[in-house]
Amino acid sequence: MKIYLDTIGCRLNQAEIETMAGQFRAAGHEIAAFAAEADLVVINTCTVTAQAASDSRQKARQAVRQGAREIVLTGCWSTLEPEQALNLPNVLKIIPNDRKENLVSELLTIPPSQFELEPLARKPLPGSHKRTRAFIKVQDGCDNHCTYCITTIARGVANSRSRKSVIGDIQAALLGGSKEVVLTGVHLGAWGLDSKGENGRLRDLIRTILNETDVPRLRLSSLEPWDLDDEFFNLWEDVRLCRHLHLPLQSGSKSVLRRMARKTTPEAYSDLIISIRSIIPDIAITTDLIAGFPGETELEFGETLEFVERMGFSGGHVFTYSARPGTTASRMPGHVPPEIRKKRNEKLRNLLAISKDIYTQNYIGKSMNVLWESSIQESVDSWKLEGLTDNYLIVQATSSQSRWNQIDCVELTALEEEKIFGKIKFPL
């Protein structure tokens, strides 16, 4: 049987479909590059924003237009809206998040223990989901109660995977040729807390990975700022750990953060950034921001603008606040009019773009190691390449051969219209 796997949303969703792909392959099935050629389509949905929920529904309809006859939905949106999900055309079944781990065994009616053998090579997914980086899920769920977040409701309480299972997945990814591993989770920094310290903390897991595997690059996905201390940053003595941290801020206003129930303040966040940069001077720090949270005044938004400018982020994401049914924030008074939310989003995005350019300019003329994520042939002897430095700069270059999934030393030559261009010096 041919199975097409699709996803929307976070890196955790991507990690989950990569795991599903390995299990389907282990059971003797083929992963299709397109929905049109598949016997079964599985879509991992998202509902973090209203737009993500809409995009999830659109994914299912798009698969039908492409010829999908049987669709199974899983993930956060279909978990929270199962009746609406089942009403979509050709959707046969909903598998909620609490059964997602056994999705493949449930669909194929085989015992989960069949996948507890020595891991097979974790090959990249075909088609648009083909990546050089392997996303490895180490943790799920969250015990925080941020007032805007629907994910906690959809994913449940925090729970950590064992070191052994994580190491097994990483070894499988390396066996499949991955040059970079990305650790993911709903609340990644909470790894180990549900075992009351018996398994250690996230820094202990990272140290085990660096000691027990030959992973060329290890990258961390989003981390909450209150989970980190100076001892954590000493891990960067190992050069394989990518110099990039994504630390969601959400707002630079103390009063807004309080209404969001975030466990930090602008002062604490600023102190953390200063500490990180003193230990890892060249690190890239990106963030998430929410524009137009309920009750956000012009004064509070101004505090956020000033704070973001002062932090000098190397990039980030800005989300226009959207009320998610069931969250505390959706019931708060003073919802900001949509047109004002949109304008605030634009101002924050423009500010982050300026900040990103300032950070990037520091590397023009320098040589960086780039892992090529994309390689497109433009002529007989010319390939257009695009890839990532360890500090998350997206670089473009040309080559006389395909360099996909290879790491090259590249001189960064120019920054034009937010695009970084480089010249390959030599392969590593």
Q: What is the pLDDT of residues 250-304, one digit of tens each?
A: 999 999 999 999 999 999 999 999 999 999 989 999 999 999 999 999 999 999 9
Residue ranges of alpha helices (H) inside 240-337 are 254-260, 266-279, 298-311
pLDDT digits (tens, 9 = 90+) for 316-342: 999 999 999 999 999 999 999 999 999
Q: What percent of the chain has pLDDT over 70?
A: 97
Q: Where in the chain is the domain with CATH 3.30.750.200?
A: 243-362
Assign a CATH topology to domain 130-240. Answer: Transcription Regulator spoIIAA (3.30.750)
Whole-angstrom distance, CA of residue 318 vs CA of residue 118: 41
Q: How confident is the model at residue 123 (pLDDT cuts 50, 70, 90)?
A: confident
pLDDT greater than 80 at residue 13: yes
pLDDT greater than 70 at residue 357: yes
Starting at the edge strand found earlier in the chain, the sheet holding 244-246 runs 244-246, 284-291, 316-320
Residue with tokens 């497109």: 376
* pLDDT of the residue at 415: 94
Backbone angles phi, psi at 427, to 5 degrees: -75, 155
Q: How confident is the model at residue 116 (pLDDT cuts 50, 70, 90)?
A: low
Closest of 177, 151, 119, 145 to residue 46, by C-alpha: 151
Query: For 369-398, what is the mean pLDDT?
Result: 95
Closest of 213, 212, 216, 232 to residue 224, by C-alpha: 232
- Residue type for 195, please? S
pLDDT greater than 90 at residue 131: no
Residue with tokens 């090529």: 372
pLDDT greater than 70 at residue 120: no
* Cα dihedral sign, 359-365-371-374: positive
Residue 140 tokens, joined = 């799920």
* pLDDT of the residue at 385: 96
Q: Which helix (H) or strand (E) holds 70?
A: none
Whole-angstrom distance, CA of residue 63 vs CA of residue 168: 33
* pLDDT of the residue at 391: 97
Closest of 284, 292, 337 to residue 318, by C-alpha: 292
pLDDT greater than 90 at residue 10: no
**Non-local CB neighbours of 94 within 8 Å, separated by 6+ positions:** 72, 73, 74, 78, 79, 82, 85, 86
Q: How confident is the model at residue 90 (pLDDT cuts 50, 70, 90)?
A: very high
Reported residue count of the chain is: 428
Q: How confident is the model at residue 85 (pLDDT cuts 50, 70, 90)?
A: very high
Q: Where in the chain is the domain with CATH 3.30.750.210?
A: 130-240
pLDDT digits (tens, 9 = 90+) for 161-172: 999 999 999 999
| Strand positions, DSSP E, 268-380 | 284-291, 316-320, 367-379
Answer with the residue of higher pLDDT: 63 or 131.
Answer: 63
Q: How confident is the model at residue 93 (pLDDT cuts 50, 70, 90)?
A: very high
pLDDT greater than 80 at residue 44: yes
Assign a CATH topology to domain 1-117. Answer: Rossmann fold (3.40.50)
| Measured CA angle at 89 (ends 61, 52), to 5 deg | 40
Q: How confident is the model at residue 230 (pLDDT cuts 50, 70, 90)?
A: confident
Assign a CATH topology to domain 367-427. Answer: OB fold (Dihydrolipoamide Acetyltransferase, E2P) (2.40.50)
pTM, 2 dp: 0.92
Q: Where in the chain is the domain with CATH 3.40.50.12160?
A: 1-117
Whole-angstrom distance, CA of residue 186 vs CA of residue 158: 8
Q: Where in the chain is the domain with CATH 2.40.50?
A: 367-427
Query: For 114-131, what is the mean pLDDT?
Result: 67
Q: How confident is the model at residue 199 (pLDDT cuts 50, 70, 90)?
A: confident
Instruction: Name 286's bridge partners.
Output: 246
* pLDDT of the residue at 114: 72
The mean pLDDT of the chain is: 93
pLDDT digits (tens, 9 = 90+) for 389-419: 999 999 999 999 999 999 999 999 999 988 9
* pLDDT of the residue at 124: 73
Q: How confident is the model at residue 142 (pLDDT cuts 50, 70, 90)?
A: very high
* Cα dihedral sign, 56-101-317-124: negative
* Helical packing angle, 163-175 and 202-212, nearest 10°: 40
DSSP 227-268: G--HHHHGGGGSTTB-SEEE---B-S-HHHHHHHT-S--HHH
* pLDDT of the residue at 119: 55
Whole-angstrom distance, CA of residue 210 vs CA of residue 358: 32
- Residue type for 345, please? N
* pLDDT of the residue at 302: 98
Q: What percent of the chain has pLDDT over 90?
A: 87
pLDDT greater than 90 at residue 231: no
pLDDT greater than 60 at residue 118: no
pLDDT digits (tens, 9 = 90+) for 209-224: 999 999 999 999 999 9
Was domain 243-362 assigned CATH 3.40.190.80?
no
Q: How confident is the model at residue 128 (pLDDT cuts 50, 70, 90)?
A: low
pLDDT digits (tens, 9 = 90+) for 143-194: 999 999 999 899 999 999 999 999 999 999 999 899 999 999 999 999 998 8
Whole-angstrom distance, CA of residue 81 vs CA of residue 85: 6
